[in-house]
Amino acid sequence: MQPRTLEVYDDLGMMPAVRAAGGPYFPGMGWNGSVRTGEIKLPRTDPKSPTPDVPYPSPWMLPQPRALEILRNRLKELGGEVEFGAQLLTLAQDDTGVTATVAHVDGTTETIRCAFLIGADGARGATRTAADIPFVSEPTDQQPMVTADVVIAGLERNHWHMWDNAPGGALWLLPLAQTEAFQLYAKYDHGEPDVSDEGLRRMIYERTGNAGFDIREIWWASTFSSRLGMAEQFRKGRVFLVGDAAHIHPPAGGQGMNTSVQDSFNLGWKLGQVLLRGAPDSLLDTYEEERLPIAANLLQFVSQIHKNWMGTGGKGQPLGDSQQIGLNYRDGTLTRHEPTDGLIQAGDRAPDAPLQDFKGASLRIFDILRGPHFTVLALGGLEPPQLDKRFGDNVRVHSVLEYGSPAGKAMNGALIDIGGHAHKHYGHAVVVVRPDNYLGYASAGSAAAKGAADYLARFFS
């Protein structure tokens, strides 16, 4: 889980569960056969200290079964449920909706009518084909790999153990947080992988020089080859693609999974505005506008990470944002920016900052952003907008004053920027933060409040 994904999970109210179920990454430990060659610093997983604007600065390890369980539990708390044993067979769309035919494990079929259909069914899913959306992919290398979860006794769990020059191909064993297992990655320089229990045990002992530990269990194992690919479009009428259905990547850095989370967060709030609050259908076009360029750039970025990781021709450090904190929509049609004195601008991710309410209680920017609403921040004494009642609780307005401001005592509803971090990043400005916690609007001009109100009006009937 990269830092930006952790911020999304914070917004969804899942961080306590994510913290409890996972753990930090470990430094590497190099091996040559049964001999340790020394600790290896892994810059992309090196723990960092939180800062006022980035509370989750380091990747967080969360085994996939637990991650899915946490998501399902939170969905259930919010009134939704995942139905298993259902497979999309066909879809047909018209001007008013989509008709989908679904098969169930008991042999029955069901016809579902929906306003929109989202294909989040992976690289081999049926949605993309059924919607007739072209997809172009290519292998990143020809070397097969194996991944597995194995329980090993006698191997300490404070490092990511790496046999980079093992006979037959590199081997890595990463302790999986909150489990007794290690996650195995093995590269095969030649030959076909044998993923039987006997074949995996033999491969591990051969590559580690029988280093004195005992392979107790093999929970599961799978072969894979790395590919890059992307759909030509992420929306076709009333059908959308998210995640691996839209783009596939090598596993290095978990960028594909983390990008999939951002896809869903971006599309989700827009569907909410259209279906529940009267926003025009054209808002949904901005999903592809914003996410397709990021996916395209990510293909190049992750390819370079993979080449460095695999030793297949990578040179230098890849150019990109593995944490996904710096990804932005500055050039998008939903972005309106007028000059401010802050470090960020409209289109950027909204930074966190410590605040204090007028009673002296501590809170943070992320606390007031949490949820599916728009947030307006009027900083530095600027007048907040007067909003139409039709927005209701779907837009929340806060005045944020500098610490020691004489107006602070008179404005009982104001929040105090006790460390100056909010004004440092947002500036003395009126800003509108979208439900996905990106700035949509920022202005420090005399008409900033009216501009914020006009900006919000485009998202409501």
- pLDDT tens figures, 144-164: 899 999 999 999 999 999 999
Give pLDDT, residue 424. 97
Question: What structural domains does the chain harbor?
Answer: 1-22+62-78 (no CATH), 24-49+142-225 (3.30.9.10), 336-457 (3.40.30.120)
Mean pLDDT of 208-222: 90
pLDDT at 311 over 60: no
Give pLDDT, residue 318. 35
pTM for the full predicted model:
0.92
Give pLDDT, residue 195. 95
User: 369-373: long-range contacts (C-beta < 8 A, 24 or more apart)?
Assistant: 369/11, 369/433, 369/437, 370/10, 370/11, 370/13, 371/11, 371/435, 372/269, 372/272, 372/435, 373/435
The secondary structure element, H or E, covering residue 94 is none
Per-chain mean pLDDT for the chain: 91
Contact status, residue 197 vs residue 218, Cβ threshold 8 Å: yes
For residue 85, give the DSSP letter: S
> Token pair for residue 146?
């194996």
Contact status, residue 4 vs residue 258, Cβ threshold 8 Å: yes
pLDDT at 314 over 50: no
Mean pLDDT of 404-420: 76
* Rounded percentage of the chain residues whose pLDDT exceeds 70: 93
Give pLDDT, residue 358. 84
Q: How far apart are CA 342 and CA 350, in angstroms?
A: 12
Give pLDDT, residue 302. 62
